[in-house]
Each structure stands twice: as structure tokens, then as C-alpha cells.
């Protein structure tokens, strides 16, 4: 995907030219782990410094503010949910990229490393072809390639994502280190 501002906001929104979106977000079932909150640093896809600040924005909603080398500030809202052993995040996709919702995964390792995962679009597309999930392909606006829109109910999506046989659906798209206090 070529949308640099999306990358700067949350690297989990980046998916190599393709996008998996869902009609519904994952239902929120608990607050994010406290270790998720705070300041993180990394490098963007161009090797430039990237800072990410994650904070609670009310209830069980969160916001991520990313600032790149150009000092442009991008802000995105998201929710989290834990199912099985996996933490999920759900964020609205900007209308210019088709709308709907993204679902990704994340791990906070020892409170010092934040790893963000996205769904492998090819494997999700295969799941649609095999009728394991319901959905269709679509052209992502702004010349960002082909996407897959999943319209299965959230319960079905979670059952599919939580199945240990599908653990390879998630691919690492970003790794952040805890920024100094």
C-alpha cells in the first residue's frame, strides 16, 4: 500500500499493496494491557525514525499518535479485544481506502517490545474461496491494489482467527521498542 500517512499512524495498517477489511469491528471485551500504553519508537518503511504514542481515549477505546521525521502528526482510534491467547485490535479504515474495519493482532513482550501483526491477504482470500469465511475481493481506492472485504459475522471471524490451525494467518508488520521514560 502506498499510503504513507497510514503507515505513520500504525504500521499494522500497512499490508504490501493489499488490504483485508471487515464489515464489523471485533467486539470489545476488555481493556488493553497496561503495557501497551505509552511511547514507542521504530523506523518506518523508508528507514526514518517513527515515534508512536498509545493512550486511552475513553472507555475501552484507544488512540495512536504517530510522528515521523517530517513531524507530521497522524492520529487513529482503535479498540482491542482478547480472544484465546491472542490480543486483537480493530480500527476504522479511512473512506478514501474503502472504509470498513481492519483487524490485526499485537503482542507486548516484557513491556519493552510491541509487535504488530496483520492478516495475510492471500490466506484470507483462500478462506473465502473455500467458504470458511464469507467475503469478496474489491479494488482498493487510490491505486492501492486489491483488497478482500469479509462480511462474515464477528463471531465467525473470531472462531476462524482463534483456530490454532490458522495461526499462520498473521504476519509481522511492525516492531516497536519502548521509548525512554
- Span 33-89, pLDDT tens digits: 999 999 999 987 788 888 999 999 988 899 999 888 888 888 889 999 998 888 999
How far apart CA 5 and CA 10 sit, in angstroms, is: 9
Give the per-residue pLDDT at 62.
95
Looking at the structure of the chain, the number of domains it has is 1
Give the per-residue pLDDT at 18.
63
The helix (run of H) or strand (run of E) holding residue 101 is strand 101-109
Q: Tell me: pLDDT of 144 over 70.
A: no
Q: If pLDDT is split at 50, 70 and 90, which confidence band does 147 have? A: confident
Cell of 97: 481506502
pLDDT digits 0-9 by tens, 86-122: 899 999 887 777 788 989 999 999 999 999 998 998 8
Q: Which position has the higher pLDDT, 181 or 59?
A: 59
Look up cell 510491541; give the residue.
Answer: 114
Give the per-residue pLDDT at 152.
94
Closest CA to 133 of 171, 163, 155, 160: 160
Give the per-residue pLDDT at 9.
36
Give the per-residue pLDDT at 93.
82
Largest Cα–Cα distance in the chain?
Answer: 48
Question: Cβ distance 70 to 7 under 8 Å?
Answer: no
Give the per-residue pLDDT at 25.
87
Q: If pLDDT is split at 50, 70 and 90, which confidence band does 3 have? A: very low
The helix (run of H) or strand (run of E) holding residue 88 is strand 86-92
Average pLDDT over residues 11-18: 42
Give the per-residue pLDDT at 141.
65
Which range, of 72-81, 134-143, 144-153, 171-180, averages the lowest pLDDT? 134-143
pLDDT digits 0-9 by tens, 127-137: 999 999 999 98
Give the per-residue pLDDT at 107.
94
How far apart CA 4 and CA 132 sit, in angstroms, is: 32
How far apart CA 169 and CA 76 sit, in angstroms, is: 24
Residue 167 structural domain? 4-178
Amino acid at each position: 500500500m502506498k499510503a504513507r500517512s497510514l503507515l505513520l499512524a500504525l504500521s499494522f495498517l500497512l499490508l504490501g499493496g493489499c488490504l483485508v477489511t471487515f464489515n464489523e469491528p471485533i467486539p470489545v471485551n476488555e481493556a488493553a494491557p497496561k503495557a501497551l500504553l505509552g511511547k514507542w519508537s521504530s523506523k518506518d518503511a523508508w528507514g526514518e525514525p517513527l515515534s508512536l504514542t498509545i493512550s486511552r481515549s475513553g472507555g475501552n477505546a484507544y488512540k495512536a499518535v504517530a510522528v515521523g521525521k517530517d513531524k507530521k502528526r497522524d492520529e487513529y482510534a482503535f479498540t482491542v479485544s482478547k480472544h484465546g491467547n491472542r490480543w486483537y485490535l480493530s480500527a476504522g479504515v479511512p473512506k478514501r481506502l474503502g472504509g470498513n474495519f481492519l483487524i490485526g493482532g499485537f503482542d507486548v513482550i516484557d513491556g519493552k517490545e510491541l509487535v504488530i501483526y496483520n492478516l495475510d491477504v492471500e490466506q484470507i482470500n483462500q478462506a473465502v474461496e473455500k467458504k470458511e469465511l464469507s467475503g469478496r475481493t474489491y479494488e482498493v481506492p487510490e491505486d492501492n491494489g486489491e483488497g478482500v472485504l469479509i462480511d462474515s459475522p464477528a463471531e465467525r471471524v473470531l472462531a476462524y482467527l482463534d483456530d490454532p490451525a490458522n495461526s499462520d494467518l498473521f504476519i509481522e508488520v511492525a516492531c516497536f521498542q519502548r521509548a525512554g521514560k
